[in-house]
Structure 1
Amino acid sequence: MSQEFVSIRYIVDDVPVSIEFYTTLLGFTLQQDAGAAFASVTRDNLRLLLSGKASSGARAMPDGRQPIPGGWNRILLVVSDIESEVERLRKAGLSFRNEILKGVAGSQILLDDPSGNPIELFEPLH
């Protein structure tokens, strides 16, 4: 039985570094590794496409705009204890864009991957 995935593409500076980041620190599983150009990693039903500079996903648009890492659109990963996750990731030397914010639906914080792409860690209210 095949599993259906929601797929998101991130443009990354270094595919092997990104594979290591997502699989070692955020619990993703390597699905496909095409070297420096491309890889895909999965977590539950999320498939994250990591597109390096040599991938088709990173090619310039007809008007000359070049896809680059970063921005504010992001994947959201649900965590059960945001404070312990943040502590674990900070000890691993990772950078956050902000501190934990508490909102009406739960708590969130933005983490940067090695290329500067944002990842939201979210703990829903219990």
Structure 2
Amino acid sequence: MATVRYLVSDVELAIAFYTRHLGFVLRQQFGPAMAILRRDDLTFWLAGPTASAARPMPDGRTPEPGGWNRIVLEVEDLAALIVRMREAGVPFRNEIVDGPGGRQILCEDPSGNVVELFEARA
């Protein structure tokens, strides 16, 4: 089992996004500071602005959401999922990319964190 932490701007919005669009289940919530979600064997921690993970580093840098690191979620029908997510207003950074192992696309959660949706070749 793997655990991944994402910094988010709003824990409630992030919970709604990941449970509604990507099949995560809320396991535990600590007010507006943090939530723990689960999908298959991935435990996913969402840390809001008041979480300890968002405290400034000794050099003054402040952790923030966004960037290009990402979780990859394998999906069965990429095209259908994209249609549903676009209809719900989910932003995408690109169009479908065909690669040697399958097809992928990058969407963003409400805080600008990237999620790669990947459909393996048959």
Identity of aligned residues (%): 52
- Distance in 2 (CA, whole Å) between partners of 1:21 and 1:86 is 14
Question: Deviations along 1:51-95, whole A, 9 cap, x unmatched?
Answer: 001101111110001000001110000011111110111011110
Aligned to 1:71: 67
- Of 90, 95, 99, the match for 1:94: 90
1:59 is the counterpart of 2:52: no
2:74 partner amino acid: V
- Of 14, 21, 25, the match for 1:25: 21
Compute the TM-score of the two structures, normalised by the length of structure 1.
Answer: 0.95
Aligned to 2:113: 117
Name segments (4+ residues, structure 1) moved above 6 Å.
none
Cα offset, 1:35, TM superposition? 1.1
Cα offset, 1:118, TM superposition? 0.1
2:28 partner amino acid: Q
Aligned to 1:16: 12
Please, what is the CA RMSD of the aligned residues? 0.6
Aligned to 1:37: 33
Q: For this pair of structures, how many residues does the alignment match?
A: 122
Compute the TM-score of the two structures, normalised by the length of structure 2.
Answer: 0.98
2:5 partner amino acid: R
- Distance in 1 (CA, whole Å) between partners of 2:16 and 2:30 is 14
